[in-house]
C-alpha cells in the first residue's frame, strides 16, 4: 500500500502538488484575505487510489486527461461549472459523479469543499467487465449514477475500501485483500454507472442464462473463495461469457458475481472467528486477511 499526506496554505505549493498528484493543473485564484489551506490524504493499492481532500478556499481548475477513471464524492461545499466534452454540471454534498472519462480534460470551480477522489485504472474495469485479458475497453456512458440507490451503494463501497482496507497497511498489503477490494470497487462502479460493457447484453448472452449457469458459478465461488478469483474465472467455470454471467446474476440474484464472492468470504471469515480458540486462535485481522475481507 502507498500513502501520502499534504497540508499547506501556500497556493503555489498546492498547485505544484496537485499537478504532480493528478495532472497538470492551474489554480487561478484563492480567497483574498481568507484561508488558503489545502489538505490531501491519499491511500493506494494496485490499480486504485482513494484521496480525501479539504480545500478552505475557492479554486478554478483546468486538468489535462488523467488516464484513469476519476470519481468524486462531495462531503461539504460545492463543485460548480464542472465541464468536459458534452457535459456541464454542478455537484453538492452527497453527490457521487464521474469527473471525466480517462482520455478527456475537464475544468470547473471548487468552493470551500471537502470531497473524495477515487481513481481506477481503465484496465481494471475492463478486466472485471470482460474477463482476464481485458481485451475490450469499457466506457462509462453517463457521468452520474443510474439511480439514487446505485449512488448510495457505490459511496458505501468507497467508504468500506477507505475505512476498512486502506486504513491498515497490514491488511491492504495482503494480495488477496487488495485484489478483492479493487475488483469489488470496479464491479460497484459498473453497477452504478451506465456503461458499454453490461447495459445491453447481446442475444447470445441472454440465451445462455439458465439455472445451470448459476449453479456452476455459485459452486465455483464456494469452492474457491479462499483463492484470488476474477470474474473471468467464474465465467469460465460456468461456461459462459463474462457479459452473460453478469447478466445472469443481475437478473436472477439481483447482485454481481464479485459481490456474491465477497458475501461468501465474509461468511467464511465469520465462521472462522466464531470457531477460533480465544487463547490460541487467529486475530480478527489475520482471519479477515486470509479471506480477503
Largest CA distance in the chain: 67
Q: Answer with the one of 68, 92, 122 that is the final residue of a domain.
A: 122
Q: Please, are residues 77 and 114 in contact by the beta-carbon 8 Å criterion?
A: yes
**What average pLDDT does range 183-190 have in this prediction?**
89
pLDDT 10s digits, 147-178:
998 999 999 999 999 998 899 888 888 888 88
94 and 141 part of one domain: no
Q: Answer with the one of 122, 155, 174 that is the final residue of a domain.
A: 122
38 and 156 part of one domain: no
**What average pLDDT does range 79-102 have in this prediction?**
94
Reported confidence tier of residue 184, pLDDT bands at 50, 70, 90: confident
The strand pair at 96-100 and 69-84 is best described as: antiparallel
142 and 218 part of one domain: yes
**Whole-angstrom Cα distance, residue 278 to residue 256?**
35
The pLDDT value recorded for residue 144 is 96
User: In the chain, how many domains are there?
Assistant: 2
141 and 16 part of one domain: no
224 and 80 part of one domain: no
Residue 134 has pLDDT above 70, yes or no: no
Q: Please, are residues 253 and 211 in contact by the beta-carbon 8 Å criterion?
A: no
Element (H, E) at 172: helix 169-172
Cβ contacts of residue 254 below 8 Å, gap of 6+? none
Q: Answer with the one of 122, 144, 168 that is the final residue of a domain.
A: 122
Residue 277 has pLDDT above 90, yes or no: no
The pLDDT value recorded for residue 49 is 96
Q: Please, are residues 244 and 208 in contact by the beta-carbon 8 Å criterion?
A: yes
79 and 14 part of one domain: yes
The DSSP 8-state label assigned to residue 74 in this structure reads: E
* pLDDT averaged over every residue in the chain: 86
Which of 87, 86, 99 has the alpha carbon at shortest distance from 53? 99
62 and 197 part of one domain: no
Q: What is the CATH number of the domain that holds 106?
A: 2.60.120.10
30 and 10 part of one domain: yes
79 and 139 part of one domain: no
pTM of the full structure: 0.77
The pLDDT value recorded for residue 140 is 93
116 and 144 part of one domain: no
23 and 43 part of one domain: yes
Q: What percent of the chain has pLDDT over 70?
A: 86
21 and 105 part of one domain: yes
Question: What is the domain extent for residue 150?
Answer: 125-290
Amino acid at each position: 500500500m502507498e500513502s501520502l499526506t499534504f497540508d499547506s496554505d501556500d497556493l503555489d505549493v498546492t498547485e505544484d502538488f496537485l499537478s504532480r498528484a493528478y495532472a497538470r493543473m492551474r489554480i487561478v485564484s484563492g480567497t483574498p484575505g481568507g484561508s488558503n489551506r489545502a489538505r490531501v490524504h491519499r491511500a493506494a493499492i494496485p490499480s486504485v487510489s482513494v484521496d480525501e481532500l479539504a480545500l478552505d478556499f475557492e479554486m478554478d481548475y483546468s486538468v489535462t486527461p488523467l488516464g484513469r477513471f476519476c470519481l468524486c464524492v462531495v462531503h461539504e461545499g460545492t463543485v460548480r461549472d464542472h465541464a468536459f466534452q458534452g457535459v456541464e454540471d454542478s455537484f453538492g454534498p452527497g453527490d457521487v459523479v464521474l469527473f471525466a472519462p480517462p482520455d478527456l480534460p475537464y475544468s470547473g470551480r471548487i468552493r470551500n469543499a471537502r470531497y473524495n477522489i477515487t481513481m481506477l485504472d481503465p484496465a481494471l474495469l475492463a478486466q472485471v467487465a470482460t474477463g482476464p485479458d481485458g481485451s475490450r475497453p469499457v466506457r462509462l456512458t453517463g457521468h452520474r449514477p443510474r439511480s439514487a440507490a446505485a449512488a448510495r451503494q457505490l459511496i458505501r463501497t468507497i467508504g468500506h475500501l477507505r475505512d476498512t482496507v486502506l486504513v491498515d497497511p497490514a491488511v491492504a498489503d495482503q494480495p488477496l485483500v487488495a485484489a478483492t477490494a479493487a475488483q469489488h470497487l470496479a464491479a460497484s462502479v459498473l453497477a452504478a454507472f451506465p456503461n458499454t460493457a453490461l447495459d445491453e447484453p447481446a442475444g447470445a448472452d441472454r440465451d445462455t442464462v439458465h439455472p445451470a449457469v448459476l449453479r456452476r458459478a455459485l459452486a465455483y465461488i464456494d469452492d474457491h473463495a479462499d483463492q484470488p478469483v476474477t470474474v473471468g474465472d467464474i465465467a469460465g467455470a460456468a461456461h459462459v461469457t463474462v457479459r452473460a454471467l453478469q447478466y445472469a446474476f443481475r437478473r436472477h440474484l439481483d447482485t454481481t458475481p464479485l459481490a456474491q464472492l465477497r458475501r461468501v468470504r465474509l461468511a467464511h471469515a465469520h465462521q472462522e472467528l466464531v470457531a477460533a480458540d480465544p487463547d490460541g486462535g487467529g486475530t480478527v485481522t489475520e482471519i479477515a486477511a486470509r479471506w480477503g475481507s
